[in-house]
Chain A
Amino acid sequence: AQSVTQLGSHVSVSEGALVLLRCNYSSSVPPYLFWYVQYPNQGLQLLLKYTTGATLVKGINGFEAEFKKSETSFHLTKPSAHMSDAAEYFCAVSRGGATNKLIFGTGTLLAVQP
């Protein structure tokens, strides 16, 4: 069975500092990988995804993630945090196919300090 682990339910960074949100997955087949963000009082928004091809994926708002098969990881990074990045971030995996259902991690709440 697939599972997703997000290390750190709460992460706090200073404005301008590096953002690193960790995600590890377990999957018996090559997965499709996603990062979603949920801003306060809003729905989930796709930040970026990996399906095939280049393992370094760039998303919206300056975020990027790298698929490392050997480490079964898909960590999310941003070089310089902005106050507007404060939100909850979810890593998710799917196997595609007939259902393509998403398996989510427990989420990481990112706080950005001035």
Chain B
Amino acid sequence: EAGVTQFPSHSVIEKGQTVTLRCDPISGHDNLYWYRRVMGKEIKFLLHFVKESKQDESGMPNNRFLAERTGGTYSTLKVQPAELEDSGVYFCASSQDLRVQSHEQYFGPGTRLTVT
């Protein structure tokens, strides 16, 4: 079974440009999460999809960030326009139906975003 995949693995962009990150969850996982780790700090929750619906987007920093999950499969996270403080590692995670109560989230390898 394939794990969570993320693309690209690295992205270097200039301030003001747009970047789109992609996450492909484990097949059959309804729940998809985005997290971010800014250098030297903790990994922070950004948002949570259940299928194609946003369940919780309380962690999104501002309206420059837009996440979508059309069709309830893969998800994209767009940053437009990018700022220096957006640099960090963006992780995606997925999990089964929460009623299963396994509570385990499976993480992808992350996308390292550098804004110069």
Contacts and interface: CB of A to CB of B under 8 A. Distances in A.
Nearest to A107: B42
A25 to B, nearest CB: 13
Contacts of B108: 43
B56 A101 contact: yes
Interface string A18-51: 0000000000000010101000011111100101
A90 B85 CA distance: 23
Interface string A76-114: 000000000000001010101111111111110000000
B109 A51 contact: no
Contact of B42 (A32, A100, A106): A106
Contacts of A43: 3-4, 91, 107-110
28 contacts: A4-B42, A32-B103, A42-B109, A43-B3, A43-B91, A43-B108, A44-B93, A45-B107, A46-B106, A49-B103, A90-B43, A96-B101, A96-B103, A98-B55, A98-B56, A100-B31, A100-B95, A102-B33, A102-B35, A102-B93, A102-B105, A103-B45, A104-B43, A105-B42, A106-B41, A106-B42, A107-B42, A107-B43
